[in-house]
Amino acid sequence: MSIPTTRPGGLRFKLGEFAKRVAYRSKWLNFLSRPRFPLFGMQPAQLAWLVNKIDDTRRENKTPGAIVEVGVGLGMTTVFLLEHMKLNNDTRPYYCIDTFGGFLEKDIAFEEKHRSKDRREMEGRFAYNKKEIFESNLKKAGYSNQVVICADASTMDFSAVAPIDVMLLDVDLFVPTKAVLTNSMKHLNARSYIMVDDCQPNSLWDGSDQAYNEFIQSHSLPRVIVGTKGGVVEKV
């Protein structure tokens, strides 16, 4: 006996739609189908900005560059941007850079000693991640142009991923944020863009904001915030 397919009108399709109906209308189960945000750490304005800049650089740079994400977490933003590139036949490499083990002790120690942060708020965060699992998850999701790198972003040689078209920098703490901004500048493409996440003062992750402010001041650049927390650096 053959198994019914999920085609409209098939038994499996009808059972699936019935289950959705029950879950949606039940006061005990409707949380399963309730729309919610965020599924990403990024705000809608940030995601829209990143998509636009990925498209702009593809069109405007004579030499194709790379899309770089530093600090990937679960990979929700990664998948969002990879899907956009896939739908547009954009085959530029997408570099995913992370420690895949959480924050490094040296960076936590700096936050505690020089920025008066409570290390207990930082220890163990993102330690669940593992390069091999992250890599496998992206492949299972149907993507192929990603390159996953396990590294300390503070000391990484960005010539290995140059030229950079668009970078999303989301490492939360002062030391790695400042180091990546400084070390990646000479490896940017002719037209390129960086977004630093969590540029909000007086928050647990305001090390990103301090690093962003110090960097733009040292380069006489304007402070440009997308949404409420996306600090932007543009090379045009």
One domain, residues 100 and 198: yes
**Residues spanned by the domain of 7:** 1-36
One domain, residues 90 and 176: yes
One domain, residues 120 and 60: yes
Q: What is the pLDDT of residues 131-177, one digit of tens each?
A: 999 999 999 999 999 999 999 999 999 999 999 999 999 999 999 99
One domain, residues 28 and 108: no
One domain, residues 166 and 196: yes
- Confidence at residue 6, expressed as pLDDT on a 0 to 100 scale: 57
Domain with 97 in it: what CATH number?
Answer: 3.40.50.150
Q: What is the pLDDT of residues 180-196, one digit of tens each?
A: 999 999 999 999 999 99
pLDDT at residue 5 above 60?
A: no
Q: What band does 2 get if pLDDT is binned at 50, 70 and 90? A: very low
Q: What is the pLDDT of residues 93-111, one digit of tens each?
A: 999 999 999 999 999 999 9
One domain, residues 98 and 32: no
- Confidence at residue 3, expressed as pLDDT on a 0 to 100 scale: 41
> What would the 3-class secondary structure string for the chain be?
CCCCCCCCCCHHHHHHHHHHHHHHHCCCCHHHCCCCCCCCCCCHHHHHHHHHHHHHHHHHCCCCCEEEEECCCCCHHHHHHHHHHHHCCCCCCEEEEECCCCCCHHHHHHHHHHHCCCHHHCCCCCCCCCHHHHHHHHHHCCCCCEEEEECCCCCCCHHHHCCEEEEEECCCCHHHHHHHHHHHHHHEEEEEEEEECCCCCCCCCCHHHHHHHHHHHHCCCCCEEECCCEEEEEEC
**Average pLDDT in the 60-87 region?**
97
**Average pLDDT in the 117-134 region?**
92
One domain, residues 86 and 14: no
One domain, residues 119 and 50: yes
- Confidence at residue 45, expressed as pLDDT on a 0 to 100 scale: 97
Q: What is the pTM of this model?
A: 0.88
Residue 115 or residue 4, greater confidence: 115
Q: What band does 4 get if pLDDT is binned at 50, 70 and 90? A: very low
Q: What is the pLDDT of residues 22-71, one digit of tens each?
A: 877 887 877 777 777 766 789 999 999 999 999 999 999 999 999 999 99
Domain count, the chain: 2
